[in-house]
Amino acid sequence: MEALIPSWGELNVSLAIAIFCIICFGLLRHMEKLFGRDPASRPFPGSGHEGGILDGSSNKTNSAGLDLQSSYIYLVKLELLAAKDLIAANISGTSDPYAIIECGSEKRFSSMVPGTRNPIWGEDFELFIEELPSEVHVSIYDWDIIMKSSNLGSVTLKIEKECQTEAMWYSLGGRAGQVCIKMMTKRCVSNASGITDGLAGIIARKRLQGKPAGTEVLQKPGPLQTIFDLPPDEGVEHKFSCALERSFLYHGRMYVSSWHICFHSNVFSKQLKVVLPYEYIEEIKKSQHALINPAITIILRAGSGGIGVPPLASSDGRAKYMFASFWNRNHALRVLQRAANNFQKLEEEAKQASIRQPHEELAECRLRNLLLYHFSIASPMVAGIRN
C-alpha cells in the first residue's frame, strides 16, 4: 500500500508538470492570436509525424483526424462576345437573339439583343466543374413574344485541360452563322471542408449537412416544388403579384423563400420561370418602368449571367431583372431586401464556422500532443524518484 501512495516529491513534480503544460498551452494560444497563424506548424517530438502538421505539400491526415489533403474545382470563365450572319427568324428579316450557356448542371442566359442578325454581347459567365475533361454547350435562340423561342444554332466546346483561348469564331453546327467566344479554365483550391474561395454555395452545403439525422418533415408540396422543382424543405415566406419586363410585361407571381426569389408567368401559354439564388444577387433597388408604374430591379453579380430567362442588358456586364406592377412596391422592396440581408448573415456565420472548426480541432490536437510529450518525459523522472 505504501508504494501506491505518492510521496511529497512525486506530488511536487506532478504539480510542476501540470503548471508547465498550462503555461505552454496559453503561450501557444497567445501566439496564434498575435500572429494570426498557426505557430505550432511543426509536430511535437514523439507525435509520430515528421512533416509539418499544416504543410499543404504532405497531403496527409493529422493526428486529430483532419483531412488536410487539398481537393480542386475548375473555374470556367466564358466571354460571349458577339455573333454574325444568324438566321433571320422574324418577318422583318432580323432576329432577337440570346444565348444559353450550359455546363454540367449549370445553365446561364445572356441578354436578348432585339432586331439584329449580328448581335454584340460582351458578357462574362463563370461556371464551375468538378473534373476534366468536360464540355460547354452554347446555343443561340430567337426570342418570341408569344410562341416558343426557336433555335438558331449551337456549338459544343470541349475542355481537356487548364488553358486560355483567344477570341475565336465558331460555326453554329448545321446552321448559318458564327459565334465569337473567349474562354479560360483554371483550377481553384478547395479546402478540407469542401469550400472554395470565391465559389457561391457555402450555405447550400451547410444546409445539406446541417439537417438533423433521422428527422423528416412530410408536408404537401408547394409552388416552389411543383413549379420550380426546389427541395421539399423550402417553403414560401412571401408572395406578390407582379410582372416581369421583357418585350412587354409578363404578369405572374413572385415567391420569396429563405434561399431563392422565384417568378412564374404563363401568358398565352408561354411559361417563364426565373429562379434567383440569393448568393448571386448583388443589389435590390427601386426603379421605374413607366411614369405611373414603379418597379423593383434585381441586379446579379458580374459573371453569374441570367437564370431562367434572358436578363436585361446592362452597361457594366451585370445581369438584371426588372419587376413591375406591384400592389405595394415599397412593402415588396423591404421584404426582398430583408430576405437578402438575412441570407448574407447566415453566409457570414457559415464562413466563420468553417474557419473556426478546423482551428478548434487543431488546438485540441496540439494540446493532446503537448501533454503526451511532457508526460512521456515526466514518467522516467517519477520512476527515478520512486526508486
Instruction: Report whether pLDDT(134) > 60.
Output: yes
pLDDT for residue 164 is more than 70: yes
C-alpha 32/C-alpha 226 separation (Å) is 51
Give the percent of the chain with pLDDT over 90.
Answer: 41
* DSSP result, 293-360: EEEEEEEEPTT--BSSS--B--TTS--EEEEE--SSHHHHHHHHHHHHHHHHHHHHHHHHHHHHHHHH
Residue 64: alpha-carbon gap to chain centroid: 28
Give this prediction's pTM.
Answer: 0.69
pLDDT for res 339: 95
Place of cell 423561342: 149
Q: What is the pLDDT of residue 181?
A: 95
Strand order in the sheet with 97-103: 106-109, 97-103, 134-142, 150-159
SS3 170: strand
- Residue 65's region, left for phi above 0, alpha for psi from -120 to 50, else beta, is left
How much is the pLDDT for 130? 83
Between 367 and 348, name the one with better pLDDT: 348
Average pLDDT over residues 47-65: 38
Helix ranges (DSSP H) in the chain: 8-35, 202-209, 223-226, 329-386
Delineate the domains of the chain, giving CATH numbers in brackets: 8-68+360-386 (no CATH), 70-192 (2.60.40.150)
Give the dihedral sign, CA 337/330/263/99: negative
Residue length of the chain: 387
pLDDT at 364 over 70: no
What pLDDT, on a 0 to 100 scale, did the predictor assign at position 198?
A: 46
CA–CA separation, 236 and 238 (whole Å): 6
Question: Residue 274 corresponds to which amino acid?
Answer: V
pLDDT value, residue 248:
83
3-state helix, strand, coil in the chain (%, to 5): 25, 35, 40
Position of cell 515526466? 378
Task: Give how far Cα 316 sits from Cα of 64, 98, 118, Å.
Answer: 48, 18, 21
Cell triple for 354: 468553417
Q: What are phi and psi of 119, to 5 degrees?
A: -75, 150
Whether 332 contacts 346, CB under 8 Å? no
C-alpha cell at 103: 455546363
Considering the chain, what is the average pLDDT of its residues? 77
Do residues 311 and 291 touch, judged by C-beta distance below 8 A? no
Strands 293-300 and 281-290, by their bridges, are antiparallel
pLDDT at 212: 42
Average pLDDT rounded to a whole number, residues 137-152? 91
Q: Is the pLDDT of residue 336 over 80?
A: yes
C-alpha dist (Å) from residue 167 to 79, 84, 111: 8, 14, 20
pLDDT computed for residue 52 by the predictor: 37
Distance of CA 348 to the CA centre of its chain: 13
* Average pLDDT of the residues in 162-185: 90
pLDDT tens digits, one per residue of 116-130: 999 999 999 998 888
Across 6-20, 86-100, 135-149, least confident range: 6-20
- Asked whether the predicted pLDDT for residue 277 surpasses 50, the reply is yes
Range in 31-40, 139-148, 156-165, 289-298 the model is least confident about: 31-40
The single residue listed with the C-alpha cell 444559353 is 100
CA angle 199, 285, 320 (to 5 degrees): 55
- On the question of pLDDT at 94 being above 60, the answer is yes
Cα 23–chain centre separation: 42
Q: Residue 79 — very low, low, confident or very high, per pLDDT cuts 50/70/90?
A: very high
- Left if phi > 0, otherwise alpha if psi is -120 to 50, otherwise beta: which for 344? alpha
What average pLDDT does the segment 169-186 reach? 90
pLDDT digits (tens, 9 = 90+) for 246-256: 878 999 999 99
Look at residue 380 and tell me whether its pLDDT is greater than 60: no
pLDDT at 201 over 50: no
The predicted structure's pLDDT at residue 6:
65
pLDDT at 382: 45
- The pLDDT assigned to 2 comes to 59
pLDDT of 219: 67
Q: Considering only CA atoms, which of 177, 309, 198 is closest in space to residue 243?
A: 309
